[in-house]
Chain A
Amino acid sequence: MSFMQPSPVKYACSCGILNPINKLFFCRHCPKLRCGFCVCHEIESHFCSNCLENIPSSEARHKKNCCANCFDCPCCQHTLSARATTVPVVRKADESKDGGESGSDAAPSPKPSAMPTTKKMYYLSCLSCRWTTRDVGIPDQGVATGTWPDNECLYQVRFNTLMEYYQSVVLQEKQEKQEFMRRKAPKQHKFPSLTDRTGLTVSLIRRQIGWNDKSIPKTKPINITPAEASAEVEPLSEDIFTQPINLRNVTTVAQRHSQPADQPTAVNNLYPQRRSLWIKRSLRCRHCEHNLIKPEYHPTSIKYRIQLFASYHVPEVVMVRCEQPLQPGQTNAIFLKFTNPTMYDMTISILDAPPADAQVNMDAFMQGCRIKEEAITSSPLLKATGVTLTRQNSTREVTREVRDLANATIVPLDNEFVLSQRDDSKEFDEDVQAPIEEPKFIVWRKGNKVLMRLQFTPAAELQTGDEVTLGFYMQYTYVNTVSNTPDKKEPTTHALYSRLFIQAGEIAQGTAN
């Protein structure tokens, strides 16, 4: 597979977007192709990409999605690393003793107790741009991680006051509205209450009994000092007209935005930034809510617990070459290599219209799925409590029409062919395949691969340099090993189809006619 360049073979996803097969997933339960656009993304776990520590989601939220130990360089956004230095320290007790004994002595006498002990101190340094925490005057720390001071937000107190103020204002508004609604529409009780008849109100009765009033204290919005407008504005410093500026001391936009709270303009206000966490994502089919991709929990593992990539289930089509240079309106042939990734034989047919019976099969399959869901939710306990465990499937599947790019007509194959199962051991076998009767269009066959020849005609109105795109439907049999109903154990076979588009190339120079 060509990794670096976009593949010329595109599969139409069930949502209608074209993708190469390596970007597609295959939901075994639906069974349909899915792409990154039409699946539901979920966050599996948070981790720091530098120290590879797994951080639980509640802690991640508390730490504002930042790693507690790792820092980014404010200058170049690279990771900072802690550097150790040794600094000599003189014990405090000895120092004071020395001071008492020989006050005017400039050099303290070298006593064995005052041996210069060394202490490890740490500072952070960027290995990419050589920025260090010493540049901005952050003192070295005694421990490598955990003690670095956070830069505080200057207006946090004011912000908190504003927030409390608005919360109380909104609360008061809400209470007044409720009070208003209560007065406007008095509750219609089924039975007239005593207080209604006698004209006594609850508060009156309470007062007669001698209880204190129960009325809810009205919340008053807390006082806030509104901001003061001033006629004084910050003047432009006169230096700017005379002093040359040193661009090395002025921060760039990226540097400012990486520190959104204060956005310093001078480099000596840059501050190490806590490193953002990364996430592992799991993907879920929107239709049946089954997981398509579920990574392993641990950050150091790159494996999956569930991986339903399309290239494990759907025959892969690779374009090999065209037989002749492409000319408008002239019959040509393309060589396509089909590979079966599954452990079961596949029967493939190439069509130019969607197969009629495929839809019926799909509906029958969906019916099977529904029965299974029913079985789960209809347990008597759940019914009694009225709790439904199934998630509310409110996410709609939004499908769009597949954009028909094809500008060539293909000659559909008159009969289907079999793509044998994948067998890794066969790769090393001597080629002892008995020559069997092959349809005409098959060029060669080896193991689970088939090279075939498909005839097509580019549209006559194409110009030189236009891209020729072939479109066809590939029907294939897929053996589903997922059992949907508990009684049925043996795998079921479905006839599925995908729509494929192949960019065959450009119309060649110099038309023959």
Chain B
Amino acid sequence: MPLYETVMQEKPPIVLDIGNAYTKLGFAAEAYPRKIIPTEVVLTTTGETKRLFDYVATEQLYDQIVDFLQTIFFKHLLVSPKERKFVVVENIFGQSVIRETLARALFIHFDVSSVLFVPAHLIALSTLAVPTGLVVDIGYSETTVMPVFSGVQIMSAFKDQSYGSSAVHDEIKRQLLATGVKESLLTPSVLEDIKIRTCFVTSFERAQAKPDKETTPVPNVDYAICDDDAVISIAGSVRETVYELMFEQNNERDSLPHLILRAILDCSMDVRCALVESIFVIGGGAMVMGLMARLKAELQHLLANDSYYAERFHGDLQFKFYNTIGKQNFTAWLGGALCGATDLIQTRSLSKETYLRNEHVPDWSNLCDNRHGG
């Protein structure tokens, strides 16, 4: 690269959203990620593919992150990470060991010039240009609910549950095994494909009517597994009911609608009404057919019929939803790309010099970083 190019032209920051299942990567000020790749590393020693966050020792995690970032930079983004600015979209309640290790890999191994960590829920809301919203992120390993009011995350009202796409995969597997499908056929990629292509969230009426009334069954699908030359039949009931685990009615009262309502109730009274009218569902798990309609029906139903909520919510409430620009699975990334396009990347980033001084990423939950006046 000629000298003038590197000196004169500001290189666009790289925006990374490393999810549990898929990683979204691209450049700031672009309207969609360059690539969406599985968060997996191919081990150089044995050649097997492994999930990035499966690790035993921190050293191993570091090696895996370095390998993973190496493929991102040299196979997908085709830019040298040296002296570049980064925006990393992070889970605000993510493990600090992952965060620290990622920062160490970026700063020490790849010599990047600065990293801006942005919280996923807040930054996803920025794609709407609204300051208030109840952000529901349906990810791979968990579903999280974070109310945001006037650009401030209400941490005390944060809710999460472990049903995400991986729970749906397990449910598909369980139901298919019960119908007598061989377990060896149901690899994770096959399960994901079955989920994406055949399953949907059923309507509220059908879900309610299920136990007593006979309904017309959903047509079965013959699914061909390419690798094994086998055809399995996926029953209509499987297609219809695998997502029910998000809406399960039980005494725990921890289904998705309950989670949303409880998060709203945990906020102070003045913001509740605004949150009810601004629900924003993001994440790859939100892309399934029928989810929004079902969620709305469930919420309205609970509000009207559940005595606990009826006591606490007053007035004629109508749940309102935002539509994402772009697809739900990269909304958080998109927020990062917007953030990276502004001057914030200069003022708010963690620079290399600051990091190298004590090799620590400032964290909101760490008292050392939260003290006023240092």
Contact = CB atoms under 8 A, between A and B. Distances in A.
| Residue from the set A171, A241, A276, A395 with the largest chain B CB neighbour count within 10 Å | A241
Interface string A258-288: 0011110000000000001111010000000
B325 interface: yes
Interface stretch (B78-86, B167-175, B250-258, B305-313): B78-86
Given A163-B338, A395-B111, A174 B218 contact: no
Given A252-B197, A395-B111, A229 B219 contact: no
Contact of A233 (B73, B109, B292, B334): B292
B341 A231 contact: no
A158 B292 CA distance: 23
A500 B25 CA distance: 39
B126 interface: yes
Contact of B200 (A171, A235, A236, A281): A236
A395 B318 CA distance: 56
A241 B82 CA distance: 53
Interface string B317-332: 0111111011101100
B155 interface: no
Interface stretch (B31-39, B135-143, B178-186): B31-39
B304 interface: no
B29 A158 contact: no
A260 B334 CA distance: 12
B66 A260 contact: no
A467 to B, nearest CB: 14
A241 B240 CA distance: 9
Contact of B343 (A174, A253, A394): A174
A261 B319 contact: no
A42 B36 contact: no
| Residue from the set B292, B322, B326 with the largest chain A CB neighbour count within 10 Å | B326
Contact of B342 (A166, A242, A279, A395): A166
B216 A241 contact: yes
A158 B320 contact: no
A262 B325 contact: no
A224 interface: yes
Interface in A77-130: none
Interface in B1-44: 1, 5, 22, 24, 29-37, 44
B368 interface: no
B95 interface: no
A435 interface: no
A241 B207 CA distance: 13
| Residue from the set B24, B31, B341 with the largest chain A CB neighbour count within 10 Å | B31
B58 to A, nearest CB: 12
Contacts, number: 177
A254 B294 CA distance: 27
A229 B277 contact: yes
A64 B277 CA distance: 39
B290 interface: yes
Nearest to A243: B219
Contacts of B59: 400
Nearest to B27: A64
B347 to A, nearest CB: 7
B245 interface: no
A275 to B, nearest CB: 13
| Residue from the set B222, B223, B289 with the largest chain A CB neighbour count within 10 Å | B289
Interface string B52-86: 00000001000100100010011011111010000
B32 A260 contact: yes
A394 B192 contact: no
B180 to A, nearest CB: 21
Nearest to A164: B341
Contacts of B203: 236
B219 A260 contact: no
Contacts of B201: 236
A262 B36 CA distance: 12
Contacts of A263: 287, 327, 329
Interface of A: 6, 36-37, 40-43, 46, 57-58, 60, 64-65, 153, 155-156, 158-160, 162-163, 165-167, 169-171, 174, 224-231, 233-237, 240-245, 247, 250-253, 256-257, 260-263, 276-279, 281, 394-396, 398, 400
10 contacts: A41-B74, A153-B31, A229-B320, A231-B319, A236-B203, A236-B294, A240-B289, A256-B196, A260-B327, A394-B111
**Which 5 pairs of residues, A with B, have the shortest CB-CB distance?**
A236-B290, A229-B320, A227-B128, A244-B219, A233-B292
Interface of B: 1, 5, 22, 24, 29-37, 44-45, 59, 63, 66, 70, 73-74, 76-80, 82, 108-109, 111, 126-130, 192-193, 196-198, 200-203, 206, 216, 218-224, 277-279, 287, 289-290, 292-296, 318-323, 325-327, 329-330, 334, 338-339, 341-344, 347, 352
Given A153-B31, A236-B200, 10 more contacts: A36-B44, A64-B30, A65-B77, A159-B31, A236-B289, A241-B216, A242-B219, A243-B219, A253-B192, A260-B330
